[in-house]
Amino acid sequence: MSMDKIIEVDIQKFSDDTHSHETDEVAIERAMTIKVIHLGEEHSLGILMRTPGNDIELVYGFLYCEGVISSSDDIVEINFNNDDFVVKIADECAFDSAEHIRKTSVSSACGLCGRGSVSSLIRVNAPVLPNDKKIQSSSISQSVNLLRSKQELFSRTGGSHAAAIIDYNGNLISISEDVGRHNALDKLMGTFLMDNKIPINDGFLVVSGRASFELTYKAIRCGIPIFIAVGAPSSMAVEMSMEHGMTLIGFVKNEVASVYSCPSRVIID
């Protein structure tokens, strides 16, 4: 684990009647700015609060999941200076400044912050999700356990989220971690986009937190047919999963899981 993702801080630790001075490892959270140049004009997309590392993947995934680009070919070049990123995108991109420009800074937790309306995200330009992908019911909890075992940043700090693609044989394909759950997914999707592997046909998505509306939106946009979340889904996540035919699974713990949509992809052991 790279030390540029972790910082050691001095703490005072209290436990019952004891009091000690110790050090603790904390996940780094730092701002990055993203600007795009389209048709010769520069537009700011705001600020992302993220854990440094895999920033290029984050840029690709963020722009794709936001609908700014439709493939890796739409990015002409990326220039960056420290935490400031400037991305030149192809003239052919259907960039809509009114829709895509964030109106406020974006936190690491809020994917909808700054949006003028939720409706600007509901229109999903996504591939048709395949119905022939199946998962064994026993693989659901196994995939969550696998995700947890690979969360290096979380194991040291307890302060990060993770998103992973696991293949249908139960093998980890790729994992990303970040203090922000949306950033973790954007980094993961950016990894696949840079390899021209979207839509993602080889595996299903597992995330360490809850299934929010926007994480569900991003999974659908990337063509993922099965989405497993450790925590609870929101009502809009369930509605969107039903509308687009994605299998949404949540509340995974101790061999128990709840399937909220399209249960036909789950094979009972």
Q: Active-site residues: which are they?
A: 110
Q: Are strands 84-89 and 75-81 parallel, antiparallel or unpaired?
A: antiparallel
- Cα separation, 177 vs 158, whole angstroms: 11
- What single-letter DSSP state applies at residue 115? -
Residue of 32, 29, 31, 26 lying closest to 6 (CA atoms):
26
Widest pairwise Cα distance in the chain: 66
- Cα separation, 51 vs 18, whole angstroms: 33
Residue of 129, 170, 152, 269 lying closest to 208 (CA atoms):
152
